[in-house]
Each structure stands twice: as structure tokens, then as C-alpha cells.
Amino acid sequence: MRMRKCPKCGRYTLKEKCPTDGSATVSAHPPRFSLGKETKYGKYRRAAQE
């Protein structure tokens, strides 16, 4: 099963409709992408501090 996310309230769910407000959810991107980005930023930040 894929993780889905409600664009309205930002809640993560496995259902196609948000259990909170009934909005149609969209499939959430795997956290791999943002993780790589964060690492990159972290490196940059570190370099700037040193």
C-alpha cells in the first residue's frame, strides 16, 4: 500500500479520502528525495559555519 496525503489538512493516510475532512488524497512522495536534499543543505550549512 502506498502512503497518501490530504492536500487540505496535510494528514497522511492510506485511504483515498481524508478521514478528517473527506477530501480526495494524493499519493505522497517517498521521503528519499527530501532526505537527500536535506543532507545537501546540511553539508552546505556546515561548510558555511566553519
Residue count, binding to Zn ion (CB under 5 A): 8
Residues whose CB is less than 8 angstroms from the CB of residue 7 and which lie 6 or more positions away in sequence, other chains included: 23, 25, 26
Rounded Cα distance, 33 and 14, in Å? 20
In the bound complex, what is the minimum distance in angstroms from residue 46's beta carbon to Zn ion?
37
Q: Does 6 bind Zn ion (CB under 5 A)?
A: yes
Q: Give 9 or 35: the residue with its C-beta nearer to Zn ion.
A: 9
Q: Which residues would be at the binding site for Zn ion (CB under 5 A)?
A: 6, 8-9, 11, 18, 20-21, 23
